[in-house]
Structure 1
Amino acid sequence: MARRRWRLGLTLGALLAGTLAAGPTAAAEPTDYTLSVDQARTGAKIDDSMYGVFYEDINRAADGGLYAELVQNRSFEYSTADNASYKSLTSWDTSGSAQVLNDDGRLNARNRNYLSLAGGSSVTNSGYNTGIAVTQGKRYDFSVWARSGGTGNGAAGNAPLTLTLRDASGDLAPARRVTARGGWAKYKASFTAGRTSATGRLTVASGAPVALDEISLFPRDTYKGRANGLRADLAQKVADLKPGFLRFPGGCLVNTGSHEAYDEQSGWQRKRSYQWKDTIGPVEQRATNANFWGYNQSYGLGYYEYFQFAEDTGAMPLPVVPALVTGCGQNKATDDPALLKRHIQDTLDLIEFANGPATSEWGKKRAAMGHPKPFGLTHLEVGNEENLPEEFFARFKEFRSAIEAKYPDITVISNSGPDDSGSTFDKAWQLNRDADVAMVDEHYYNSPQWFLENNDRYDSYDRKGPKVFLGEYASQGNKFSNALSEAAFMTGLERNADVVKLASYAPLLANEDYVQWKPNMIWYDNDQSWGSANYETQKLFMRNVGDEVVPSTASGTPATSGPITGAVGLSTWATSAAYDDVLVTGENGGTLLTDDFSGGDGQWSKAADKGTWAVQDGAYVQSDEAAENTLVTAGDKGWQNYDLNVKATKKAGKEGFMVAFGVKDTGNHYWWNLGGWNNTQSAVEKTVDGAKQTMVQDTTTIETGRSYDLRVEVRGRQVTLFLDGKKWGSFTDDKPAEPFRQVVTRDKATGDLIVKVVNAQGSDARTKVGLGSGSKVERNAKVTTLAADPAAENTKDATPVKPVTSTFRGVSDTFSYTFPANSVTFLRIKTG
């Protein structure tokens, strides 16, 4: 997961709105296009695995999400190491005498905490979100590890346990009873829900002293009926995509942490990197770890379950292992040869776990879990979004060398950092090309505007160079406008399927009450799930891929862009900064604005809730070090072809300062962000309707207390920037945001031509389609259309963005079709 400026998905608002301008309220005059298909030629072949899904345990995607366990903190392992608000009894209420212990009486060395209950005491779990969700008539399987005697190693006598499932209105199922006898053992029972509720509570009451651990409640109806399985509705939504691959277990989740080894004597080391061996075997013996995204992960959903899910959905498994170079804002390389050697051996063992015979050391462990047959692993990724390309690549080569020596048929995938461009991206790609790497993982989260402007991104990639795995991408929102822009971009991915071999939208899942990141493909609460507009779009593409591209061309939309126009602005992000001597001059040298703040700040407009701005000591100072996006503006929205000069000084805080130009409003502008991303780099960012994209960037950092002279020259759509009199960078913002995009593919099994057209504008696209003179085609074509208001967003209560199927009865070698405003359309045309 890339942690860019809008990484702070914790504060969303307009930043993640990501909408394109909606069409006019009255019907606009249709725009005329032509679309020509050359059936005599064949374009890129498309692999069955091209489109897949990327799973990461973010937004409570595992515990409380895809993993079907209904009890939260089932083994009392929550800790302040995971979240400052956590304690060992988080999500539990107790009555009577109850205490969490960590002593020699524990269940095992990795499951360190357990609960001691005195006779006549009880403990109640509240589950996730609003409670434990049950459905009338469905069965739920309870289990607990228990031993009689509450403290130490005592196991005297019997401990009768009463199990109840209730909500505020009363019992949800008849009570059940089990009796703990002697030492640690697993006890089971089942409930059948008498009514439906999303606010259930599970209570375990004891009639005698008892020790409890791993208190669990699972729906019997898991995906494919698997024990320790997946929540059926969420897993089915993923399966319905027909994914070509499953990348797991995450992005930032993988390449962060301390990398410390488990020490049997001193106890479990929390906040260690994600290591696959921690996640297999009996669930009560799996480690618990802190999650990078701010909560606990039980590893009940582990590598075996990921491989099994990939197999169940027909997806190619694609695990990601840490390269011992942290990313996602941490930027540290672990320099420990012994540790590196161990992680490389762990990766070789992982391949054996997936592919080895049941007689091998790790294949035997897989077989013992219930899968004697190998999983058939073919691809494996090392590392994720490292910002230290040279340090990462040195370690990557050691991983690749060891893997290829023992498993030459495994494709080892590298990466290019967290962004679509910039110095890290360029250096990483150079290293990958020079070393003849098979495949490089690219990640980017950009504005809808960027996706409309970059349909041709892969047209110029070297056909002989490393292939591309687009492992994470999304525009900044879940509105239909976001999905439209992504769909337009995907036509370019398919057109370049000889270069882009794999692609997956990200993130996949989000629990609506535990959100660290937006946008997301599938949303859910305790008992409901719904696909976003992006999900519906991805599903259309993933279920209508085809086997090969059929070359096609389309006319474009008349360009209407003029010069960059707008006012100027000043801003900060989690930083206090001072500005002085602002001067804006026109291209003819005339003064448009001058302000040394000797007369106050009357020329500037500011929002009341965006920072604390005041004139201090002859400068304009923003003093709130916690405030983000504190933009103040001055001047005329119609200004063009001007120079902006300003002095800026960082006073305190995490980052540097921002100078804005081309300002239309708070959601539409450019700003030069110096010392951004925790003062690790600088960039010019363009914001359209609240969503950002990077125009140019470098590694400039900002010193506290030092005054910097900034100059921005705007000429037409060309911008040049100077820092202390030296040219810092420049860019030309002249890429057309083409709203009409197409790709045509052929499905060899059916003989269908699949004509895919995106019309991301507020007017219909009246189109003359040519399939070639004399083409033999059936008159009737199956049509699937997604069309909605650009601002439409699917929720649990309404799904305005959903596919509509119809039949078009007018196909010939040349025919006319009108593609609706703001739509994605798939025409399946029978040929020959």
Structure 2
Amino acid sequence: MTRAQRTLTIYTQERGAELGDLFGIFFEDLNHAADGGLYAELVQNRSFEFDPIDRAEYHALTAWEKIERGGGKAEINVEDSHPLNPRNLHYVAIDIVSEGGGVGMMNLGFNSGIPAKQGETYLFSVYARRDASFDEPVVVTIEGTDGTVHGEATIVVQSSEWTQYAATITANATDTSSRLVIVTKGKGKLYLDMVSLFPEKTFRNRPNGMREDIAALLADLKPKFMRFPGGCLIHDGSLNPDDRDSMYRWKNTLGDIAQRPARRNNWSYNQTLGLGYYEYFLFCEDIGAKPIPILPGGYDPHHKRIVPIDELQPWIDDALDLIEFANGDPSNEWGAIRAQLGHPEPFGLEYVGIGNEEVGEPFFERYPYFHRAIKEKYPDIKIINSAGPFAAGSEYDRGWKSAKENKSDLVDEHYYQSPEWFLANYNRYDTFKADEPKVFLGEYASWGNTYYNALVEAAFMTGLEKNAHAVGLACYAPMLCNVDYINWKPDMIWFNNHEVYGTANYYVQKLFMHHQGDQLLKIEAYGLDEKQENTMKPINGAFALETDRCSFRFWDMKLVNNDSGEMKELNGLSAELSDTDEDRLGGTSLRTLDLGETDWENYTLSLKAQKISGPKGFNLYFGKRDDNNQLIWDFGGWQNQDSALCSSMNGRTSCLTQSIFNVEPDMEYELTLEVSGRQIRAWINNVLFHDTEDKLPVIEPLYYSASYERSTGDVIVKVVNVQENSVSAQIALADLHKTSLTVEVNEMSDHAPDDENTFASPERVSPKQKEFSTVGCSFHYDFPKHSITVFRVR
């Protein structure tokens, strides 16, 4: 077929679904995304509230060290008998035993230290008091690790009552490993709390603001919305809002930062809440993104904490009060609080989410109470329901059932999968209906930050666009990661204490956000039907068992050929695995066991299993070709709450389907796994738990979408080529009635699949722009191999 016969035709007058607020961002405070990240505070543990409840090795003086100079001696203690306020109980007492050259404390900051930059000004503040009145100053310096002073200020603390002091320090050198040092002389005790150091220059110069370079990268995306503050951290915690480890309660995050209680972050660190709901709303306003707050629904699925339904009203009130806080008139209670904080105008909240990745009946029993109350008082607010953390299975189905019954506006879907899964499920939303709740793809990513990951995500995103009738919102996740505090990867933006870069995935998101358009256009392909099918067809190979810190016995292990009836006994019908702590200490651990292999394409594996001891379950591997390519039945995974079927391809795992299940000790389980081609079904005690297909990707010649932008009148065409070879095609714009076109091209190409951005090469993988003109309303284009091309036709 000649290249002229391959055509993409865009019907510029045939407009379809509105794209609305389709592409946005998601902020969750993991990977130190807030403290030590977007939140510009440079002092770690500023209020001496770090505690083992946050992280086992934390204590009240984490990130602090004692300073004794020139023979000075001091005793450093953390006290709570005369606190700054009831929500900030701990403070440090510096007992000057011998003043010498000065005594005090040094804060180590985050990462390598305090990032001082020559010529920049820093705002120091502290609450302090002394038990004796004299004029000996407190000297505050930014110092290098060798003691070199990069900037200095002094304050004089004379009161025996808590008083806030402030000073400015201008750095005379650049040093990303500095320390904040506080030293004094004299006698008696000096007490300190809320020790803070902010760069004077924050994003939009807001006090208590955002780190400028990270915030600028986010603003540069031009997202339509921002989902916040999580994530699992919103519902993982106790039911009491005053507990240190409570669920995330937005009212705790308002007002004076000294009055905000420290919080255990479920990602195992301390959360100061300095970046609170008011700051989130301001930041959304500053970057032009609609706020989408997510609230707990009275249920912690991690620990099975459940608010009784007759005690649910305060939780519902929190949701209603939040809407009033965001949108209410200053004459109303929470509108007045917003106005007192400095924003009398409403924030224009349109969306609110209840729950995050919820699994289990208790959430779905409680959701309707929130939904009814919000719709009754605020009928225009769009409410987002939850469909769990996986792309399919019983909890996913339960979430969608709840959404349809309650007429939720959107359903929050989450999935992290292999690139192959994203390609195989490119058409995932083709069959979703326009008159049902819309999809909010609130968390998604392929496993990796390489160019190939970004390329595949771009192909998938064209499918999201083409299904805008069903997909309302979508955001890549996670958004931010501090390289020295990694909880999860991949991530869209990586940073340390002084540098930041966007990944290849970031630049794909930026392309789609900058060139989203407002309304879909009909687009048709001719001659582009040469699909590449995966040649690895059947699910066959080796079988194996594996457990982790558990002890199991297995028996009656059989494999039957469903075509011929032939039967094989596996491992002599029985086996045992034991990987307990005692086994590990004694050197007797048996964690994995091979069971043989098969080349059959249609078979049933059955076995019986019993847990002897341990916190969870075991894995049954099948279709195993090597450790990076296999299928997994995860029986009793994630806190012993799941049964899941997963596929690992090239070392990257996708959950195909998941159901709630708990493996109980001493109970006997009869497990049956049926494989036919790539169809998989699994029974537990003769009850069908899983019925799924491990799809293999069928590579399209090109992935594409088109849209119309009202403000400019531009036609936007996105084309993704994931193949190893270039593809030529004619681009025809029908019904445009112009004699010539100006075409702006933004393209990512000429990158190896495993290329990644780094601190040293932050834009190694990023778009290039060019422009050309045409005669008439069509043009020929060679789409390079592994390319993402966005045409903006004027």
TM-score (ref. length: structure 1): 0.87
What is residue 255 of structure 2 aligned with on the other side?
Answer: 281
For 1:57, the aligned partner's letter is D
The within-5 A match list for 1:125-204 is: 125-149=107-131, 156-158=133-135, 160-182=137-159, 183-204=161-182
Report the counterpart of residue 724 of structure 2 in structure 1.
762
1:118 has 2:102 as partner: no
Partner of 2:571: 596
Shift of 1:786: 1.4
Q: Does 1:335 align with 2:291?
A: no
* 2:232 corresponds to: 252
How does 1:805-820 map onto structure 2 within 5 Å?
Answer: 805-809=769-773, 812-820=776-784
CA contact (8 A) 1:658 1:671 kept: yes
- Matching of residue 97 in structure 1 with residue 79 in structure 2: no
Rounded to whole Å, the distance in 2 between the matches of 1:527 and 1:712 is 52
Going from structure 1 to structure 2, the CA distance change for 1:638 and 1:771 (only over 3 Å counts) comes to farther
Distance 1:669 1:808, change over 3 A: farther
Among 475, 478, 481, the alignment partner of 2:452 is: 481
Aligned partners of 2:27 and 2:478 also within 8 Å: yes
Q: Which region of structure 1 is more displaced relative to structure 2, 445-454 or 286-295?
A: 445-454
Aligned residue identity for 1:129: N
Of the structure 1 ranges 185-194 and 392-401, higher mean CA displacement relative to structure 2 is found in 392-401
Contact 1:68–1:219 (Cα < 8 Å) also in 2? yes
Task: Kindly state the Cα deviation for residue 218 of structure 1 after the two structures are TM-superposed.
Answer: 0.6
Aligned to 1:25: none
CA distance in 2, matches of 1:621, 1:258: 36
Structure 1 residue 802 corresponds to structure 2 residue 781: no
Residues 75 and 94, structure 2, Cα contact 8 Å, conserved in 1: yes
Secondary structure of the 1:75 match is: coil
Is the aligned partner of 1:657 residue 2:618? yes
Residue 624 of structure 1, CA deviation:
5.0
* Cα distance in 1 for residues equivalent to 2:664 and 2:49: 42
**What's the CA shift for 1:496?**
1.8
In the TM superposition, residue 573 of structure 1 has moved relative to its aligned partner by 4.3
User: Which of 732, 752, 756 lines up with 1:793 in the alignment?
Assistant: 756
Moved more, 79-88 or 576-585: 576-585
User: Secondary structure in 2 aligned to 1:468?
Assistant: strand
Q: How far off its partner does 1:577 sit?
A: 3.3
Counterpart-to-counterpart distance in 2, 1:718 and 1:257:
39
Q: Confirm or deny: 8 A CA contact 2:462 2:704 kept in the other structure.
A: yes
After TM superposition, give the deviation of residue 731 of structure 1 in Å.
3.2
For residue 542 of structure 1, what is the aligned residue in structure 2? 513
| 1:233-382 aligned within 5 A | 233-262=213-242, 269-327=243-301, 329-335=302-308, 337-338=310-311, 340-382=312-354
Query: Which residue, 782, 785, 791 being the options, matches 2:744?
Result: 782
Measure how far apart 1:698 and its partner are.
3.1
Q: 2:679 aligns with which of 688, 699, 718?
A: 718
RMSD of aligned residue pairs (Cα, Å): 2.8
Cα contact 2:76–2:95 (8 A) shared by 1: no
- SS of 1:233 mapped into structure 2: helix
Do 1:580 and 1:595's aligned partners in 2 also have CA atoms closer than 8 Å?
Answer: no
Q: Which residue of 2 aligns with 1:490?
A: 461
Aligned to 1:83: 55
Pick aligned residue for 2:432 from 461, 468, 482: 461
Q: Deviations over 1:143-164 (max 9, x none)?
A: 1111122xxxxx6444520111
Deviation at residue 812 of structure 1 after TM alignment: 4.8
Contact 1:581 1:596 in 2 (8 A): no
Tell me, which stretches of 5 or more residues in structure 1 are unaligned? 1-28, 150-154, 263-268, 599-617
Q: Kindly provide the amino acid, as one letter, of the partner of residue 248 in structure 1.
A: F
Once the two structures are TM-superposed, the CA of residue 697 in structure 1 deviates from its matched residue by 3.6
Contact 2:622-2:632 within 8 A present in 1 as well? yes
Change (3 A) 1:276 1:585: closer
Amino acid at match of 2:152: A
The 8 Å contact of residues 567 and 634 in structure 1, kept in 2 or not, is answered as no
Matched letter for residue 786 of structure 2: N
Q: Give how far 1:79 is off.
A: 0.6
Per the alignment, residue 579 of structure 2 pairs with 623
CA deviation string 1:244-268 (max 9, x = no partner): 1111111211112112143xxxxxx
Deviation string, structure 1 residues 686-738 (Cα, Å, up to 9, x no partner): 11112222334433443434555544443333334455666654434346443
Taking a change above 3 Å as real, the CA distance of residues 32 and 639 of structure 1, as seen in their structure-2 partners, is: farther
> Structure 1 residues 164 and 30, CA, compared in 2 at 3 Å: closer, same or farther?
farther
- Kindly provide the CA deviation profile for residues 275-298 of structure 1, in whole angstroms up to 9, marking residues without a partner as x: 111111111111111111111111
After superposition, the Cα gap between the structure-2 partners of 1:187 and 1:700, relative to the gap in structure 1 and judged at 3 Å, is closer
AA at the equivalent of 1:621: L
- Look up the SS of the partner of 2:278 in the other structure: helix
Give the Cα separation in 1 of the matches to 2:775 and 2:297: 53
Alignment equivalent of 1:519, drawn from 479, 482, 490: 490
1:823 counterpart = 2:787: yes
Q: Tell me what 1:750 maps to.
A: 712
Aligned residue for 1:387? 359
Q: Deviations over 1:571-591 (max 9, x none)?
A: 324233345565556566497
SS in 2 for 1:118: strand
* 8 Å CA contact 2:238, 2:305 repeated in 1: no
Deviation at 1:302, TM superposition (A): 0.8
Q: State how far apart, in whole Å, the 1-side matches of 2:575 and 2:413 are.
A: 43
Among 63, 66, 77, which residue is 2:38 paired with? 66
Partner of 2:70: none
Query: What amino acid is the match of 1:310?
Result: C
**Contact 1:30–1:763 at 8 Å: present in 2 too?**
no
Distance 1:814 1:156 in 2: 83
> Helix, strand or coil: the match of 2:408?
coil
What is residue 19 of structure 1 aligned with on the other side? none
Q: Report the Cα offset of residue 553 of structure 1.
A: 2.8
Other structure's SS at 2:421 match? helix
Structure 2 matches for 1:430-449, cutoff 5 A?
A: 430-449=401-420
> TM-score scaled by structure 2?
0.91
Separation of aligned partners in 2, 1:486 and 1:377: 29
**What is the CA–CA distance in structure 2 between the aligned matches of 1:32 and 1:207, rounded to whole Å?**
85
1:577 aligned onto 2:577: no
Matched-pair contact (CA < 8 Å) for 1:580–1:596: no
Distance 2:594 2:789 in 1: 42
Q: What code does the residue aligned with 1:825 have?
A: T
Whole-angstrom distance in 2 between the partners of 1:171 and 1:369 = 40
Relative to structure 1, the CA distance from residue 777 to residue 543 in structure 2 (aligned partners, 3 Å threshold; closer, same or farther) is: farther
Tell me the secondary structure at the aligned position of residue 17 of structure 2: coil
SS of the equivalent of 1:180 reads coil
Q: 1:478-529: per-residue Cα shift (whole Å, max 9, x none)?
A: 1222222221111111112232221111111111111111111111001000
Alignment of 1:704-715 (within 5 A): 704-706=665-667, 708-715=669-676
Q: CA deviation at 1:299?
A: 1.0
Alignment of 1:657-696 (within 5 A): 657-696=618-657
Classify the secondary structure of the residue corresponding to 2:317: helix
Residue-by-residue CA offset, 1:587-610 (whole Å, 9 max, x unaligned): 664979755359xxxxxxxxxxxx
SS in 1 for 2:413: strand
Contact kept? 2:579, 2:591, Cα under 8 Å? no
Match of 1:738 among 686, 694, 699: 699
Q: Is residue 452 from structure 1 mapped to residue 423 from structure 2 by the alignment?
A: yes
1:108-160 C-alpha deviation (Å, 9 max, x unpaired): 111111111123330100000111111111111111111122xxxxx644452
Secondary structure, counterpart of 1:546 in structure 2: coil
CA distance 1:92–1:675, shift in 2 (3 Å): same
2:792 corresponds to which letter in structure 1?
A: R
Give distance in 1, aligned partners of 2:3 and 2:759.
34
- Partners of 2:547 and 2:578 within 8 A in 1: no
> Within 5 Å, which residues of 2 pair with 1:697-708?
697-706=658-667, 708=669
Q: Residue 216 and residue 785 in structure 1: after superposition, are their counterparts in 2 closer, same or farther (change >3 A)?
A: same
Kindly tell me the number of residue pairs found equivalent between the two proteins.
Answer: 768
